[in-house]
Amino acid sequence: MESPFSLKNKTLLVTGASSGIGRACAVECAKAGARIVAAGRDEARLGETLSALTGAGHAIVAADISDDAGLGKIVSAVASPLDGIVHCAGISKLRPFAFSAPKNLDAAWRTNAFAPVELTRLLLKKNLLAGGASVVFVASISGRHVAALGQTAYAASKAALCGAAKAMALELSAQKIRVNCICPGAVETPIHKLSGMSDEQIAADKKNYPLARYGTPEEIAYAAIYLLSDAAAWTTGTELVIDGGRTLL
């Protein structure tokens, strides 16, 4: 019998696929049998992702989801209805609350919350989401479960994404389209390394995790595979926390 976790014959869109969690999701989903449409801003790095994908029929699209033209380009690159989406694209910029004026919050809100929700809406409007499709948003424990200094914009945008996903799960249930969030703790990715934390601060922060380490992109990708697969056919509107125990403390 074929594994219920198989993604064979499924076509998936993965955003933020040029690095980090997005690249890991594209690579691991391809290993599970999926055809991948990998989207990201950096065409050269998308090419590296493409070369790492198992199987055939994959495609890449270089586009910035933070602007309408980029969203339109991604929609145009989808040739047939998708069986799933993994929204991984996101940004994190530390800024003290006192300096978090609307103009400084806009980039995080647009990239982390508005863009993935709007992209899903556009694909749905164009009948490019198959009945029974699975939509996975990579959110965060930040905002929903914990908070950190300087993360007003990031935490708020990720919490908003979780709220939107729950409402979408209700509205799209008639089409058997499932919508879920993955809420990771800190993961060893380029975006995390650009957070501005020193090696000493990172070492101290890891002590806040009962498993005494950060996660890996692949560990988040495995969760995405579950939510995309038939094994999660009765799972919608949920937040899957993967954080090495961080939220237990």
**Active-site residue, from 154, 214, 222, 226:** 154
- Which tokens hold the place of 246? 């961080």
Please indicate whether residue 154 is annotated as part of the active site. Answer: yes
Active site residues: 154
